[in-house]
Amino acid sequence: MDNYTVTFVYNGDFDLPDDKDECFAKVPGMVLDKLSDKEFELVDFNYTENYNEEQAGHYISDPLVHRCVLEIVTALNQNQLQSRDAIYDKCVNDLAEGNLYLGCAYENDNPETNMLQSIIKFVNNSQKAICTPVSAAKSNQ
């Protein structure tokens, strides 16, 4: 199975704890609760080897103003790739079973929208999370 980066967005309130240790302790459960209830929207999935790390910036700058962008790096097989529901379920199961760990979680202060937007990335054991702040993608005008 190959690794894919699955991108989700959430438009409700999603504030990360300020304390780093508390954040890493609480965020997995916060995300699992919302994923299990299908509150996140799966918007994209890409073969991780070809994934552009700046992709989250496009969702940050989306006119819909997503409050949270979640990326999950997980192994997907051919059967799972046939259905968005199967991909979603695989991400929920991997998180619930402890097969993913929180690589990074931070809030992006977006001056254009005057709000904080949460950026969260979970990775499987074969990946290393690189946590670099994401800026909003520039629109082509």
Burial class (CB in 10 A: 0-12, 13-18, 19+), 138: exposed
Report the range of poorest mean pLDDT among 16-30, 46-60, 77-91, 95-109.
46-60
Give the pLDDT confidence of 81-115 residue by residue, as tens digits.
999 999 999 999 999 999 999 998 988 776 776 77
CA-to-CA dists, residue 60 to 68, 114, 129, angstroms? 8, 12, 19
Residues 6+ apart with CB under 8 A from 140: none
Average pLDDT over residues 71-83: 94
pTM of the model: 0.82
Q: Are 75 and 125 in contact (CB under 8 A)?
A: no
Of the two residues 61 and 139, the one the predictor is more confident about is 61
Of 53 and 38, more confident: 38
Tokens of 63: 């006119």
Report in angstroms the alpha-carbon separations of 42 from 6, 48, 51.
7, 16, 16
> How much is the pLDDT for 136?
45
**pLDDT band at 67, cuts 50/70/90?**
confident
